Every structure is written in C-alpha cells, then in structure tokens.
Amino acid sequence: MSLKDRITEDMKTAMRAKDSERLGTIRLLQAAIKQKEVDERVVLDDVAVIAIVDKLIKQRKDSIAAFAQAGRQDLVDKESAEMQVLQVYLPARLSAEEVAAEVKAIVADLGAELGHKPGPGDMGKVMGAVKARLAGKADMGAVSAAVKAALAG
C-alpha cells in the first residue's frame, strides 16, 4: 500500500471515529499533496509525499517556537498535536551516528568523483547528494551539522 493510500485510509478511519483533530490534520496533508500534484501535473510517489510531510512538520516546529515565545500555550498544544499526527507518516529516523556514517561515505564518494578532498566550499554539492540519499530518513538540521563537521575535518 502506498503512503497516499495509507493517508486516505487513515482519513476514513478518523471520519468513522469522529476524531476531528486528526481528521483536520490529515485533510491538511491531503490538500498539500493534491496542490503539489496539480501544480506540477504529476502523481506523487512515496518519496515526494514524505518530503511534503517533512515540510509540514518543519512548519509546525517553527510555529511552536513562535507561539511559545508569544506565550500562547493553546496554540502550542494544537500545533504539537498536528505534528504528532504527521510524524506517523515518516519512516524511521536514522540516529546521529548513522547520519554521520552516511555523510562520511558520501563525502568520500564525492572526493573520488571530484579528484580532491571536498572542503567547506563543496557544501552545496555534498548537501545535494546527501538530500538525495537521506530524504525523509533524517532530520536535515542534523544532516547539515554532520556535513559541516565532515567537511571541516
């Protein structure tokens, strides 16, 4: 079953259970998926859907930080609940050690390809390769820090 099918089934389950908070979040996710499909005239695969889920989670994290700073605990709770619903659709995340190992392997591959040891100036090339391989599997903030550490060392 594809991720889109799973999201649709979860929406039906939330409708039957009359779980309005969960239903609202799933509908928001489906709207974002549909918007991307219509804009680009494509049918999204699981990787693209995971990217959308990741983006929505990042938006929730930013909102939570802003609402917490403003002292709006009610909105922090709402955004946190939405984030928990969305996180169900992400694959298992890699640990910090696994991310560091993947980054080192990618840097070594890129070094062999470029003919020299990648340095801080090659950050964009390395991040492009890392994003392609680790999309949805790791938090990109942690990945970025691991890439910086690998290129500095």
CB 79 within 8 Å of CB 67: yes
Q: Band of the pLDDT at 114, cuts 50, 70, 90? A: low
The angle at the Cα of 92, spanning 141 to 120, to the nearest 5 degrees, equals 25
Tokens of 31: 């709207």
Q: Which fold has domain 3-87?
A: Hypothetical Protein Yqey; Chain: A; domain1 (1.10.1510)
Q: In terms of pTM, does the model score above 0.75?
A: no
Residue-wise pLDDT tens digits, 56-91: 999 999 999 999 999 999 999 999 999 999 999 988
Cα(150)–Cα(103) distance, integer angstroms:
7
Q: Whole-angstrom distance between the N-terminal and C-terminal Cα of the chain?
A: 43
- Fold for the domain defined by 96-152: Arc Repressor Mutant, subunit A (1.10.10)
Structural domain boundaries of the chain?
3-87, 96-152
What does the DSSP 8-state code read for residue 1? Answer: -
